[in-house]
């Protein structure tokens, strides 16, 4: 029988053979490229938001205008079609809801991930003997994610 010290050494050796890759993705200007129509569709189809609640979201998103100030001059008002407000309580939540399909895709590619607003972390844990296969898996997953991002 093995002693506790021998079991601990065996466990430590096993963990020493494990590796983890963390891939950090920063989606620059991500809040500025959210298509309102797609977001509203996802709120309805993915999250079951309908009726007056969906109408409130629609009003919140589609009634937004902006102008640009340069020195003392202002541009004319423009309707905002592709953004959610970053400095609001709803902005990050709506962004996460918008990115649910890509999140589902990442999970289907056997990668662990963590999303917070426009920052994404991908995790891949593997045994040292599987190093090359794991790197190839991560590269392929990133390529699939990139290709599918056009669909989302």
Return the C-alpha torsion angle 48, 55, 150, 25, nearest 10: -80
The pTM score is: 0.62
Residue with token string 């699939």? 144
Nearest to 90 by CA among 122, 41, 43: 43
Q: What is the pLDDT of residues 33-66, one digit of tens each?
A: 788 898 999 999 999 999 999 999 998 888 788 8
- What span, in angstroms and rounded, lies between the C-alpha atoms of 68 and 70? 7
Q: What is the pLDDT of residues 76-119, one digit of tens each?
A: 998 887 888 777 888 888 888 888 877 788 778 878 877 776 67
């Amino acid at each position: 029988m093995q002693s506790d010290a021998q079991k601990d050494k065996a466990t430590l050796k096993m963990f020493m053979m494990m590796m983890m890759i963390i891939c950090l993705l920063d989606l620059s200007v991500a809040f500025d490229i959210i298509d309102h129509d797609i977001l509203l569709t996802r709120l309805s189809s993915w999250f079951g938001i309908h009726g007056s609640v969906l109408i409130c979201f629609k009003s919140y998103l589609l009634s937004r205008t902006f102008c640009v100030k340069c020195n003392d001059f202002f541009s004319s008002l423009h309707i905002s079609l592709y953004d959610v407000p970053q400095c609001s309580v709803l902005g990050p939540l709506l962004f996460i809801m918008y990115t649910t399909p890509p999140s589902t895709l990442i999970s289907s590619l056997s990668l662990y991930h963590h999303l917070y607003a426009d920052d994404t972390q991908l995790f891949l844990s593997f045994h040292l003997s599987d190093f090359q296969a794991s790197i190839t898996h991560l590269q392929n997953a990133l390529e699939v994610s990139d290709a599918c991002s056009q669909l989302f």
